[in-house]
């Protein structure tokens, strides 16, 4: 066998190996990206459910909570009041209007039945609400809720974040909000927007 034929065979095998290696590495990175996207979609869904629960808690109690036990008990047994507002306007003798509002309570509706319906949240499970899905060992979302000062006024603020990001590119030190671990709310401003939105 001539040297040319040996080199041709060796380089042919080497080319096949490199082609397989490149294909495998590209395929693996695509699969990993899809796995991360699927896992983060599930985490975002969980964060949206927590946001719904916190907003309901705020509307009934006048503040957010960072206590998971209080939030879970509220979702389980809490109720919204159904009210009707009626506005009355009376014109006074000197031409000005006097206005007053009467609020009637018509009844109550459970939080579970109004916020977490099966049609809107088919995966809702009260017992797993505080936990980051797909993370072992089970890890709870970090919740911070307090009042912050905005132009001399104390306002409610909340931040809920994933303490253990699945995507290795997500870093708390990132200067871009969208590259930080998944979260909604803020410790410095009045918002319930998520950094995925």
Is 47's pLDDT higher than 90?
Answer: yes
Token pair recorded at residue 33: 């990206």
What single string gives the DSSP state of each residue in 2-42? -HHHHHHHHHHHHHHHHHHHHHHHHHHHHHHHHHHHHHHHH
Are 82 and 113 contacting, i.e. CB atoms less than 8 angstroms apart? no
User: CB pairs under 8 A, 24+ apart, for 87-93?
Assistant: none
pLDDT, tens digit (0-9, with 9 covering 90-100), for 150-193: 888 899 999 999 988 887 777 777 777 777 888 999 888 888 88
| Buried b or exposed e, range 25-36, using 16+ CB within 10 angstroms | eeeeeeeeeeeb
pLDDT surpassing 90 at residue 71: yes
Q: What is the pLDDT of residue 161?
A: 92
User: Considering just the CA atoms, what is the radius of gyration of the chain in Å?
Assistant: 28
Cα 13 vs. chain centroid, distance in angstroms? Answer: 50
What are the tokens at 153? Answer: 């006024």
- Stretch 35-49: mean pLDDT: 89
Residue 1 is predicted with a pLDDT of 67
Is 39 exposed, middle or buried, given 0-12, 13-18 or 19+ CB atoms closer than 10 A? middle
For the CA atoms of 20, 25, 27, 31, what is the dihedral angle to 10 degrees? 150
The residues, ordered by sequence, that sit 6+ positions from 43 with a Cβ below 8 Å of its Cβ are: 132, 133, 134, 162, 166, 182
- For the cut 80, the answer to whether the pLDDT of residue 58 exceeds it is yes
Is residue 91's pLDDT more than 80? yes
Q: Give the pLDDT of residue 184.
A: 93
Percent pLDDT > 70 in the chain is: 97
Q: Specify the DSSP class assigned to residue 140.
A: B
Instruction: Please name the residue that has the structure tokens 């206005």.
Output: 99
* Rounded Cα–Cα distance for residues 58 and 66 (Å): 12
Contact indicator for 196, 103 with CB cutoff of 8 Å:
no
The per-residue pLDDT for range 104-150, each reduced to its tens digit, is 888 888 888 888 888 888 889 989 999 999 888 889 999 999 999 88
Which of 168, 161, 116 is closest to 139 using CA atoms? 161
pLDDT at 50 over 90: yes
């Amino acid at each position: 066998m001539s040297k040319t034929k040996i080199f041709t065979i060796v380089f042919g095998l080497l080319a096949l190996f490199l082609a397989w290696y490149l294909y495998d590495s590209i395929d693996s990175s695509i699969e990993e990206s899809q796995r991360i996207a699927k896992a983060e979609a599930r985490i975002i869904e969980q964060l949206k459910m927590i946001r719904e629960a916190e907003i309901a808690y705020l509307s009934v109690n006048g503040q957010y909570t960072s206590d998971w036990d209080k939030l879970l008990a509220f979702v389980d047994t809490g109720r919204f009041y159904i009210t009707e507002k009626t506005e009355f306007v009376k014109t006074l003798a000197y031409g000005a209007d006097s206005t007053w509002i009467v609020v009637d309570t018509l009844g109550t509706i459970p939080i579970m039945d109004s916020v977490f319906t099966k049609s809107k949240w088919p995966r809702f499970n009260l017992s797993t609400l505080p936990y980051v899905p797909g993370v072992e060992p089970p890890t709870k979302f970090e919740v911070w809720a307090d009042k912050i000062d905005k132009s001399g006024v104390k306002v409610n603020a909340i931040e809920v974040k994933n303490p253990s990001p699945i995507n290795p590119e997500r870093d708390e030190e990132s200067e871009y909000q969208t590259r930080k671990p998944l979260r909604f709310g803020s410790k410095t401003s009045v918002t319930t927007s998520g950094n995925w939105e």
